[in-house]
Amino acid sequence: MELSTATHVHPSEPKVSEDEELRAARRRLLNPTSAEFLQDPYATYALLRERQPLCYRPRSNAWVATRYEDAQAVLRDPCFGRDPEPTFEAIHGPGINDEPVVRNFNRMMIVRNDPDHSRLRKLVNASFNARRVLSLKAAIARIANELVDRLPASGEVDLMVDFARPLPVTVICELLGIPEADRQRFIDRRVVSERIFVPVPLTPEELAEENRRFLELRDYFLSLCAERRRAPREDLISDLVAAKERGELDEEELIAMIAVIFNAGHDTTVNLIGNGLLALHRHPEQLALLRARPDLMPSAVDELLRYDSSVQTSDRRALESVELGGQRIEKGQLVVCVLGAANRDPEVYPDPDRLDITRSGTKPVAFGGGIHFCLGAQLARIEGQIALGALLSRLPDISLPELERPEWSPSVFLRGLETLPARYQRRLDSGFDVAATARPTGAATKATARCPFH
């Protein structure tokens, strides 16, 4: 696959002469799970953003946007929408969109355009608005403190396994109403596998395994829905089951909605915690400042989302021909917005490669934009504030022994650590006080909604 400059309308125009440095950068971008790229994608992003901010990929008929302005335009403009089916078929061949695991993804709210997107989103909007999320702070702090309580009094732990993943998974399980006895299976693995998104055709064996995993999960969710139909509770699954009974969504949409809420409800936060801890320990002066000024936690979380975003790319398909960044994007072409590059655009953020938790006016594109702006953005921010606050306050001498070359997960579009070994000499027994850090980041200033956590 090749990336090329497109200076005219038609993608078949001759390519501009380029030097080897730029060609090497494009090759790295096309192999985002390579060890070299995972350790530092930002040098590649910077070169492309400066020299070729809007690249054309002939073989996939797609563009790559690395500037903040272009990414924001694509994510917000109704001329662009979601349509993964052509991409799946181009990678995996005809018939792939009829396979159960892929069909489930294609029914998810996050890849549907209006009117279906708004129809589905309004069913769960109330559960994720600012007031409702703020009402959950005490419950999230309780979960965070319980996880720290389970850590040894001193020694070495893997914070991804022992804290960063269990925290948001437990929160979203409680919101959905997944029984406590069943939660470990969700802590141990993702609900939606990333394999179907990797641009390498699935083998028959891989496809069979992906379908088997999905059908097993579907049957589990259907059994929970049947229980809630018989005996509704105050949880999201009960709300969605009631919506189905009213004819507001069908059974496939019901299962897809539960799956996407689960995945979207924790993936960003897991990586925010891990990436954030790594960034702070790589910048000890910022870590010391945050310890001294816990009131900076909300701005610190926004800066960490900008500095090393959990979600690195988000794509949109042109629903009609449109001009973008001096180029003509034809109807049906895909535009891949590199959020990690946009968040370090020097036109928007002075000295963008510097971590600065006091930076003002930080508005990272970590959560997308437009009608597809992440439903759980406020929840992720609050969870991140509480998680980092709990760890830094209760493990005062925590250190990370693998700062230079940590183990990154080989993800196509997410950026997160596979492991995060940490050492500490003492764990404070007193619980973390949520009032010390987390505060509203949106318009809401007072929480009045019922907290569903017990």
Does residue 454 carry a pLDDT above 60?
A: no
- Of 365, 398, 427, the one marking the end of a domain is 365
| Token couple for 184 | 């470990």
Quick one: which H or E segment has residue 394?
Answer: helix 377-394
Q: Are residues 352 and 293 in the same domain?
A: no
CATH at residue 22: 3.30.43.20
Q: Are residues 293 and 413 in the same domain?
A: yes
Is 392 a domain residue?
yes
- Report the distance separating Cα 385 and Cα 298, nearest Å: 6
Q: How many helices (H) and strands (E) does the chain have?
A: 21, 10
Is 223 a domain residue?
no
Is 331 a domain residue?
yes
Q: Are residues 291 and 405 in the same domain?
A: yes
Q: Are residues 155 and 294 in the same domain?
A: yes
pLDDT in tens, 44-70: 999 999 999 999 988 889 999 999 999
pLDDT in tens, 331-342: 999 999 999 999
61: how many CB neighbours lie within 10 A of its CB? 15
pLDDT recorded at residue 445: 35
| Number of domains present in the structure of the chain | 2
Higher pLDDT, 297 or 14: 297
Q: Are residues 360 and 382 in the same domain?
A: no
Q: Are residues 39 and 159 in the same domain?
A: no
Is 126 a domain residue?
no
pLDDT recorded at residue 338: 96
Is 374 a domain residue?
yes
Is 443 a domain residue?
yes
Give alpha helix (H) positions in 177-322: 184-188, 204-230, 236-245, 251-264, 267-282, 284-292, 297-307
435: how many CB neighbours lie within 10 A of its CB? 11
Least confident of 201-205, 378-382, 412-416: 412-416
17: how many CB neighbours lie within 10 A of its CB? 6
pLDDT recorded at residue 1: 33
pLDDT in tens, 313-328: 999 999 999 999 999 9
Domain that includes residue 328, residue range: 1-92+315-365
pLDDT in tens, 152-179: 999 999 999 999 999 999 999 999 999 9
Q: Are residues 63 and 38 in the same domain?
A: yes
Q: Are residues 361 and 374 in the same domain?
A: no
- Report the distance separating Cα 38 and Cα 103, nearest Å: 30
Q: Are residues 380 and 303 in the same domain?
A: yes
Q: Are residues 305 and 320 in the same domain?
A: no
Higher pLDDT, 447 or 407: 407
Strand segments, DSSP code E, in 6-136 are 54-57, 62-65, 80-81
Is 249 a domain residue?
no
Give the mean model confidence (pLDDT) for residues 126-148: 90
Does residue 395 carry a pLDDT above 70?
A: yes
397: how many CB neighbours lie within 10 A of its CB? 10
Does residue 132 carry a pLDDT above 90?
A: no
- Of 341, 365, 389, the one marking the end of a domain is 365
Q: Are residues 281 and 384 in the same domain?
A: yes
pLDDT in tens, 429-451: 877 777 665 454 443 333 333 33
Give the mean model confidence (pLDDT) for residues 237-242: 96
Sign for the pseudo-dihedral over CA of 155, 157, 159, 163: negative
- Report the distance separating Cα 376 and Cα 442, nearest Å: 13
Least confident of 151-160, 227-236, 403-412, 433-442: 433-442
pLDDT in tens, 246-274: 999 999 999 999 999 988 778 889 999 99
Q: Are residues 346 and 397 in the same domain?
A: no
